[in-house]
Amino acid sequence: MENTATKSTPSAKEVSALQSNIKTKGTNSYYYAHKKREDVEVHEWDGKAAPRLLKTQSVPTSQTLEVTEAVTNYAWADGKKRVSVYLKLPGIGVHQEEDTHIDWTATSVSVKIKNYDGKTRAFVVAKLYDEISDVKTKRKEDQLVLQLVKAKEFSWHSLKKDA
């Protein structure tokens, strides 16, 4: 028995699958979306590994950056009613008091000393060993002493609370 079915030949309109796809799906066709466009600027790589400047713009420089340095040279001592923190800062005794800012909460203490050797010095303890009720300061020639008044009278084994 012979196959009598005739093979259909593509019409002149459907020359390829590409054109057929574009015809049936229109602008939603994959091939339509990815075809080369004449109105688009083509950026070609010049083969050089060096970076190229694409654009320049000015940045406002109204704010000057404040250089802050941490105070790392300190000691502390535990007393019955208070904990003393000794910050070694040469010449702090003649430094202006209004440039020293102390912020504290029941569980943290922060000291910022502005204009000290041209920078801001900072001492921060984010989590104290236990709660405090007050902070007092004493200035010596080369040392700033913070007296942290304890909320409860018991021994502190560390200045900072473990995380």
Answer yes or no: is 20 within a domain. Answer: no
CA distances from 93 to 46, 56, 58, 115 (A): 63, 48, 43, 14
Mean pLDDT of the chain: 83
Task: Please report which confidence band the pLDDT of residue 11 belongs to, taking 50, 70 and 90 as the band edges.
Answer: low
Mean pLDDT is lowest, of 19-23, 80-84, 126-130, 141-145, for 19-23
Residue 158 has a pLDDT of 93
Residue 147 has a pLDDT of 95
Residue 6 has a pLDDT of 47
Answer yes or no: is 75 within a domain. Answer: yes
Residue 7 has a pLDDT of 46
Residue 5 has a pLDDT of 46
CA 146/CA 87 separation, integer angstroms: 8
Answer yes or no: is 36 within a domain. Answer: no
CA distances from 128 to 42, 43, 74, 83, 123 (A): 61, 58, 15, 11, 13
Answer yes or no: is 33 within a domain. Answer: no
Residue 16 has a pLDDT of 77
Answer yes or no: is 118 within a domain. Answer: yes
The whole domain housing 134 covers 68-150
Mean pLDDT is lowest, of 21-35, 88-102, 144-158, for 21-35
Answer yes or no: is 7 within a domain. Answer: no
Does residue 109 sit in helix, strand or coil?
strand
CA 136/CA 149 separation, integer angstroms: 8
Residue 12 has a pLDDT of 53
Domain count of the fold of the chain: 1
Taking residues 50-72, what's their average pLDDT?
78
pLDDT tens-digit profile of 84-134? 999 999 988 888 889 899 999 999 999 999 988 888 999 999 999 999 999
Residue 145's domain is classified under what CATH number? 2.60.40.790
Answer yes or no: is 32 within a domain. Answer: no
pLDDT tens-digit profile of 29-58? 776 667 777 787 777 777 777 777 888 888
Answer yes or no: is 112 within a domain. Answer: yes
Task: Please report which confidence band the pLDDT of residue 10 belongs to, taking 50, 70 and 90 as the band edges.
Answer: low
